Amino acid sequence: MKITRAQVEHVARLARLALADAELDALTDEMDAILGYVETLNSLDTDHIVPTSHAVPMENAFRDDTVRPSLGTMKAVQNAPAAAGGCFVVPKVIE
């Protein structure tokens, strides 16, 4: 086994996904199969290879720090499930 059911539960918690027992069972099998498949990468020696995070060689992208119009509060909150006074409303964080 590449991954256990307990690990899958832990990952679901990290990913903030409430998964049902049946989903966790299925994911354990599926992730195990996929992780087994990606093991093929281990047959390559990559000790001295520089990782690629971006396909196009590029330096940092700078721009002038100029003031420009922004979206505005009302538009920014228009899709919020709950908003009040131009703010996003969330469940109480600190008891």
- 73 is an interface residue for another protein by CB under 8 A: no
- Beta-carbon neighbour count of residue 46 at 10 Å? 9
Question: Which amino acid makes up residue 50?
Answer: V
- 84 is an interface residue for another protein by CB under 8 A: no
Position of tokens 């409430």? 18
Say how many Å lie between the first and final Cα of the chain, rounded. Answer: 41
- 25 is an interface residue for another protein by CB under 8 A: no
Q: What does the angle CA 65 – CA 79 – CA 81 come to, to the nearest 5 degrees?
A: 125
- According to CB under 8 A, which one of 4, 6, 25, 30 is a site residue for another protein? 30
Point out which residues bind another protein (CB under 8 A).
3, 7-8, 11-12, 14-19, 23, 27, 30-31, 33-35, 37-38, 40-42, 44, 46, 49-56, 58, 61, 63, 71, 75-82, 88, 90-93
